[in-house]
Structure 1
Amino acid sequence: MKKAVITILGTIGIQNKKATYISKIPKVKADPDINTFPILIKNFSKEYEIVALHTDYAKNIQTEVIENDSKIKNFEFKDEWKIEDDTEFDEIFSKIDDLISSYDKVIIDVSHGFRHLPILLMVDVIIHNVRNIDKIEMILFAKEIKKQEEYEFIDLKRYLDLANIAYALTTFERNYTVANNVRVSDPELDDFLKDLSNFSKHILANSLDELLKDTNKQRSITTLLIQKIETLLLKREKDIFNNLKRLLKNTKEHLEEIKSYTNLNRYQTLFFIAQNMYNKGYLLNSITLLSEAIGIYCTLALKSLDNSIKEKIDEYEKNAISQKNNEKVVFKLYDLYNQSKALYNVKNYEGIFMKVKYQYNNKNRAKYKKWNDNAKNITEKIRQKIDKNEHITELILTIDDVRNNLAHANSSKRLKDVDGEIKKALNDFENLCIKRDVLNIK
């Protein structure tokens, strides 16, 4: 494993008296010295390559420093560490990136270096830490305690966690995706990022029940995540992560908004999440949820036609929710919602609403034959009572057309056109189904 300590040479030379250095970092033993460079060599050269980025001027000064230190033998400067022109920022940044990339483990020292050089080094460190939190072991800095006389070595690596968490929270709020790729060294915060990632996986898969539904036995992913944020806000009040308070509060408010949708009717819940997914650019997720929402709305409208119809649909839904995986007869909510849409969409619906398929050798054959006979009667009753709405019919056709088009790799329309159609479908659904309730389900 290749390991290095990367530092930028300064210009404090032997004309200066030795300063006192103290350290509470186990790996760093600090004695009085001219500057941090000889301290790094004496502490780390047995296990790490000491990489000293330098200008010719800084190199000449530090060569004299280490030649006057009896504990340092045969240190050599490499040409690849040389900074030819300290005004060529892009060239310097590229050199720093190449150096950090060439090692498996790196300790960074930013105690010295002129103005922009430590800044460029830290920017590249932040980038590498997003890719791999295990690469950067420490960021050493000699903090001045008494001017030019006493310094204390501190490790700034924890601020990398702050940067990663801030990045993760910001992108989570925008599109739910980055939490899966970003890690931090703090165990508690790393677990929090994993919880954010778990939320992302569920919402991007339209897996909403586990995401949102609280039960007596188990809290939903969203509820647990909100509770974890509340704990972090209390526990981290006095440490550097207090700086994340605004971002954590924004995330909490967003999650609480998502959670509040569960207080609505199911079709309204799906609509608002579909709207949220559209705003974040997930068009297929949005139209898929809207397709289910219009199906549920149509199912509720059928229930409102007659009590006997409602009882039969309720029974179907109960069977669909409770059926076991090895059940021969399959009750599917997906089929129920699609058939409900068909009744409001197709002028002459030929199918039997809620008909179930069963194997003829099934021991419950007589039971399910009776179910299908009742379903046939219910279908006839619906045909007699249903009052269709041309606007709902048009909306169903639009939603299904857009969903099918997107599900088949958007084969026939430009993305801009699809985006506009989904936006219009969302607006029409809100107007027809939520604000006006044109099928009178309430």
Structure 2
Amino acid sequence: MSIKSGLKIVKKANPKIENIKEEKVEKKPKTKSVITILGIQGGFVDKIKGVVFSNFEHKADYIFENETKEYFNTLPQLIEKYSSYEIIPIFTEDAKLFNQEVLEKGYSDLKVNFNNRYFIKDDKNFEDIFKIINEAISSYDEVIVDVSHGFRHLPILMIVDLIIQNFQNTEKISKILFAKEIKKHEPNSKGLYEIIDLKEYLDLANISFILTTFEKNYTVASHIKSVKYEKLLKELNDFSNDLMALNIGNLFKTSDDLIKELDKIENISIETQAKNLRKVIENLINYDKNKMYEFYYNLSKDLFEKNYILLSLSLLYESTVLYIIYDIQTKNMDIYKKLEEHFKKIKKDSYIYHLGNLLKNLYKDYEDNKQVNRNIINQNEYKLLQNTHKNLNIKTLLQEINNKRNDLAHANSTKSFQDINKEVKNLIFKYEIQIINKK
């Protein structure tokens, strides 16, 4: 066999592998439950007589999803309405006896399992009650919770737990049902109740938390979902992503989009938080186009105060370069214009970076500055720019900021956060003395 013909590699088939059929992985069905806290409204439990009803035949009307039906309480209604869900009662001993009697007396065709895992032995033991509620919720993929009844403080404890659970997983709890009183049910008057969904209020609690924390750290908890405020969450995330990536060019657009969404909020529960965040965003992006270095400085300081040290340093460095550009432009307009036109022509949108790269290196001689196009400016013009740069006395500050930035970016520092924070704070202080307070 000649070298040119090469080697022929023969791949042997493995009959065992070839005969293996692709197994279909069946998706596990979603587990769904309706959790309800049972009460004893409409009667009581006597130790001797057992369950005593005030008047079992005197039932109230319940409106649920535009349908009105008569029930003694919400338990039989839930069993009927959610036949494809597992009904999970949470109960005391009296509530169990009472509701078993309700079903046997008036709804014998409806069945429910009273699982002792959800039995409340002591209604004053809040810790155990929370454990029972948590176990009931965590055992299912989708949960509907009914808080229409329940003994004393139990519905309140359920709501508190739901707030915590909903923050951890906003998609698990699909509804929170509550029998809203339209007409009170009295011995001589038939009551009317509407079953409403309180889930929106849990979502509002989450949105309130998001708006408040975003003002403090410009980040959004990614696991929180809301159908109603989906666009708001998107704009918050977009703004956060641009800011954390220092994508300043797009930050102005995403800030405008975010403000538009904040302006749409009319719900009194979160209106104040929305207005407060709007002011923060407006102040953050407020700038003079001719003094972009000030915008970068203000943003750097804001991020430093929120402990985003590396981002703060990066912005402080860019602000210093932008100040050099601003000062040289102000004092050498004609020469600057030539350079600006040249870099815009060859570098397009990134021209300011390349222009800054030239001007920040003006401490170098004309022959040594590789950024200089000698067909654009001559040695005398370069000298004029160099004198302006020298008068700024900014070379050392720029190097110090850059060194600290590189040190942190490459994870070279072994100092404590407090020490790093102190060093960066000192650099910001130096910047303010040499640039901000110099004006």
Q: TM-score range by the shorter chain?
A: 0.7 to 0.9
Instruction: Give a deviation string over 1:351-396, Cα, whole Å, max 9, x none.
Output: 31524xxxxxxxxxxxxxxx34546737852586346358633322
Distance 1:138 1:398, change over 3 A: same
Work out which of the residue numbers 362, 383, 394 in structure 2 matches 1:343. Answer: 362
Q: 1:352 touches 1:379 (CA, 8 Å); kept in 2?
A: no
- Secondary structure of 1:85's counterpart equals coil
How far does the alpha carbon of each residue in 1:112-156 deviate from its partner, in whole angstroms, 9 at most, with x for none?
122332222222322332344332222111122333341221111
User: What are the superposed Cα offsets for residues 19-76 of structure 1, whole Å, 9 maximum, x if unpaired?
Assistant: 31221425xx5532222122212222x2111100111121122111111124434432
Counterpart in the other structure of 2:86: 49
Counterpart-to-counterpart distance in 2, 1:429 and 1:315 = 29
- Cα distance, 1:77 vs structure 2: 0.9
Report the counterpart of residue 23 of structure 1 in structure 2: 63
CA distance change for structure 1 residues 276 and 196 in 2, over 3 Å: closer, same or farther?
A: same
Residue 5 of structure 1 pairs with residue 5 of structure 2: no
Within the candidate set 286, 293, 299, 1:273 is matched to 299
2:124 is equivalent to residue 122 of structure 1: no
Moved over 4 A (4+): 372-376
Q: In the superposition, relative to structure 1, how do residues 354 and 387 fare at CA in structure 2: closer, same or farther (>3 Å)? A: closer
Assess if the C-alpha contact under 8 Å between 2:328 and 2:385 holds in 1.
Answer: no
Which sections of structure 2, spanning at least 5 residues, go unmatched?
Answer: 1-29, 44-51
Equivalent residue, structure 2, for 1:419: 421
Q: Does 1:210 align with 2:210?
A: no
- Please state if 1:193 is matched with 2:245: no
Matches within 5 A, 1:27-426: 30-44=68-82, 46-149=83-186, 150=191, 151-178=193-220, 180-186=222-228, 189-212=229-252, 220-230=253-263, 232-233=264-265, 236=266, 241-263=267-289, 265-304=291-330, 306-307=332-333, 309-319=335-345, 322=348, 333-344=352-363, 351-352=368-369, 354-355=371-372, 371-374=373-376, 377=379, 380-382=382-384, 385-386=387-388, 388=390, 392-426=394-428
Q: Structure 1 residues 320, 283: closer, same or farther in 2, change over 3 A?
A: farther
SS at match of 1:137: strand
2:71 partner SS: coil
Whole-Å Cα distance in 2 between the matches of residues 293 and 378 of structure 1? 28
Alpha-carbon distance in 1 for matches of 2:284, 2:261:
16
Between 170-179 and 14-23, the greater mean CA deviation after superposition: 14-23
- Deviation, 1:349, is 8.6
CA change 1:226–1:76 in 2 (3 A) is closer
Amino acid across the alignment from 1:78? N
CA distance in 1 between partners of 2:288 and 2:182 (Å)? 55
Using structure 2 for the length normalisation, give the TM-score. Answer: 0.81
Question: 2: CA distance between counterparts of 1:351 and 1:415?
Answer: 39
Which string of whole-angstrom CA distances, capped at 9 and with x for unpartnered residues, describes residues 164-200 of structure 1? 21011111111111254422131xx211121111111
Say whether the 8 Å CA contact 2:34–2:86 is kept in structure 1: yes
Q: For the residues of structure 1 that align with 2:109 and 2:96, how far apart are their CA atoms?
A: 16
Q: How many percent identity over aligned positions?
A: 37
Question: In 1, are the aligned partners of 2:255 and 2:281 still within 8 Å (CA)?
Answer: yes
Alignment RMSD (CA, Å): 2.6
The one-letter code of the counterpart of 2:368 is: G
> Cα deviations across residues 204-224 of structure 1 (Å, max 9, x unaligned)?
111111111xxxxxxx22223
What's the secondary structure of 1:31's corresponding residue? Answer: strand
2:430 to 428, 431, 438: 428
Q: What is the distance in 1 between the residues matched to 2:243 and 2:312?
A: 11
Structure-2 separation of matches of 1:390 and 1:261? 23
SS of the equivalent of 1:265 reads helix
Contact 1:23 1:30 in 2 (8 A): yes
Q: 1:280: Cα distance to partner?
A: 1.8
Instruction: Give the secondary-structure state (helix, strand or coil) at the position aligned to 2:62.
Output: strand
Whether contact under 8 Å (2:220, 2:236) holds in the other structure is no
Larger Rg: 2
In 2, the alpha carbon distance for the partners of 1:384 and 1:260 equals 32
Structure 1 residues 307 and 32: alpha-carbon distance in aligned structure 2, compared to 1, 3 A threshold: closer
Determine the C-alpha separation between the residues in 2 that align with 1:322 and 1:288. Answer: 23
1:156/1:436 Cα in 2 relative to 1: closer, same or farther (>3 Å)?
same
Cα distance in 2 for residues equivalent to 1:73 and 1:108: 19
Shift of 1:338: 4.1
C-alpha distance in structure 1 between counterparts of 2:285 and 2:278, whole Å: 10
Q: Contact between 1:296 and 1:337, CA under 8 Å: does it hold in 2?
A: yes
- Greater CA deviation, 166-175 or 390-399? 390-399
Q: How many equivalent pairs are there?
A: 394
Say if 1:8 and 1:112, in contact at 8 Å, map to a contact too: yes
Distance between the aligned counterparts of 2:258 and 2:304, measured in 1? Answer: 23
What TM-score does the superposition give when structure 1 sets the normalisation length?
0.81
1:86 corresponds to which letter in structure 2?
D
